[in-house]
Structures are given as C-alpha cells and as structure tokens.
Amino acid sequence: MQKFWKSISAIEAKELLKQKSHDGDFCVLDVRTEKEFLSGAIPGALDLDFYAADFSQKLDALNKNKIYLIYCRTGSRSKAVLSMMKQLGFRYVYELDGGYISL
C-alpha cells in the first residue's frame, strides 16, 4: 500500500467508517477539546486535544503505520494535524473535510 494523506468528504468518511470499523489497523482520531468530544463524537474515536501542551508528543507516539481518519469541529485543526502527521512520517491519513459538523 502506498502512502497517502488526503482530505475526504463526509460521504466518503461514512463509507470509510463502514468499511474499516472492524479493522485493527484503523483508528479514528478526534482532535477537538475534551468538552467538544464529550458533546458528541464518532463512536470509537480517540480524543487527542489539539490545544493540549503535549499534543505533538502524543501524536508522535501513535503507530505511524495505522490508517487514520482525523477530524475536528470544522476542519481547520484537522487540516493542520494532517500536515503534522505527514511531517512526522504517518503513512495513511484521511482528514474529514468540513469536520464533525459536516456529518
């Protein structure tokens, strides 16, 4: 499988979630604040607050070979995280264009 870092629509994200929900190499990463996360999230998502002081270290510690779907509220933070993940050497990253509110 080739490396990829790609923004996808809500429709594509829903299909990806359907296809990969039972794949142990698939991870949904919510980069919103804890308060936002607790107000509603994609089931099974890992909460990693973009604004936390240790965000970069926690992100860097994740398995870089898994397939990730990342999202925030509107897509701004997740676009920044997509760029960070590319620089950190993550191999397979989808970013939900439009964020959680687009679902």
Tens-place pLDDT, residues 29-74: 999 999 999 999 999 999 999 999 999 999 999 999 999 999 999 9
Measuring CA to CA, which residue among 93, 61, 76 is closest to residue 31? 76
Strands in 92-96's sheet, in edge-to-edge order, are 4-8, 92-96, 67-71, 26-30, 46-47
C-alpha–C-alpha distance, residues 56 and 54, integer Å: 6
The pLDDT, as a whole number, for residue 28 is: 98
Share of the chain above pLDDT 70, in %: 99
Q: Which domains does the chain have, with CATH numbers?
A: 4-102 (3.40.250.10)
Name 33's Cβ contacts closer than 8 Å, sequence gap at least 6.
Answer: 49, 50, 51
Q: What is the mean pLDDT of the segment spanning 76-85?
A: 97
How long a stretch of residues is the chain?
Answer: 103
CB atoms within 10 A of CB 100: 22
The model's confidence at residue 4, banded by pLDDT at 50, 70 and 90, is confident
The pLDDT, as a whole number, for residue 1 is: 58
**pTM (predicted TM-score):** 0.95
The pLDDT, as a whole number, for residue 3 is: 86
Does residue 10 register a pLDDT over 80? yes
